[in-house]
Each structure stands twice: as structure tokens, then as C-alpha cells.
Amino acid sequence: MLLIIYFSIIIIILSNFMMLLSMILSKKSFNDREKCSPFECGFDPKSSARIPFSLHFFLITMIFLIFDVEIALIFPMIPIFKLVNFQIWTKTTLFFFIVLLIGLYHEWNQNMLNWTN
């Protein structure tokens, strides 16, 4: 038990020493105007580089990712069909599809699937 405590103290001291050494030896970067500006062929940007994106675009992206994961969950249902009990497989698959359809109906009802509002 005492050996474990000694090893953990040595590891903590060694890791703190490595972090301190990396902070001392790391390259210091100075923020100047040219390095902070976006690259636009060497010219000054004509407009702001930080244009806010549409929140609706973000929502569409999240919906796409959710349905993409759901499709990845549907694919294993096909080959496992012959390995499991038919009734259990049918009930599980129907429950999964009903949950998907309820989610799709909710998104449709909230007008999240319309690109323009």
C-alpha cells in the first residue's frame, strides 16, 4: 500500500515538472494585427470575417445527424433477423420505427423541416 502511495506521488511530481517544463520552453506567440486577421490573398478583408450563421441551418444539421445515427441503428436489424425470435424482433423494430415517426411528426409539426420560414 505504501509503495502505491510513493509511486503516485512520484507520478504527480513528474507530471507537474513536465507541464512546467513545457510552459517554460514553449514558443511564445505575440498577437499582432496581421496574424489575427483572416487570410484573404494578402488584402485587408472588406467585411467582417465573423459572419454569424443561421440558427436554422444549425437545427437542420442537428436533425440530419440524429437521423443519420438512427439509420446506423437500423442497418444491424436486417442481418440479425435470422438470429433472433421473430416476434421479439418485430416488436423491437416496430417500437423503434414508431419512435422515429413520432420524432419526425414532432419536427414537422414545429416547422423545423422547412428551410425558409
One domain, residues 24 and 61: no
Residue 11 inside a domain? The answer is yes
Per-residue model confidence (pLDDT) at position 48:
62
One domain, residues 59 and 100: yes
Per-residue model confidence (pLDDT) at position 75:
87
Per-residue model confidence (pLDDT) at position 116:
66
pTM for the model? 0.47
One domain, residues 27 and 62: no
Per-residue model confidence (pLDDT) at position 34:
62
Helix axes 86-109, 55-74, angle to 10 degrees: 170
One domain, residues 32 and 63: no
Residue 41 inside a domain? The answer is no
One domain, residues 61 and 96: yes
Per-residue model confidence (pLDDT) at position 36:
64
Average pLDDT by stretches of 10, the chain with 117 residues: 92 94 78 62 60 74 84 86 88 90 87 70
Domain count, the chain: 2
Per-residue model confidence (pLDDT) at position 112:
75
Residue 46 inside a domain? The answer is no
One domain, residues 19 and 63: no
Per-residue model confidence (pLDDT) at position 46:
63
One domain, residues 25 and 64: no
Which residue segment(s) compose the domain that 81 sits in? 55-109
Contacts of 115 (CB under 8 A, 6+ apart): 56, 60
User: What is the b/e burial string over 80-95, where b = at least 16 CB atoms within 10 angstroms of the residue's CB?
Assistant: eeeeeeeeeeeeeeee
One domain, residues 32 and 59: no
Residue 97 inside a domain? The answer is yes
One domain, residues 99 and 64: yes
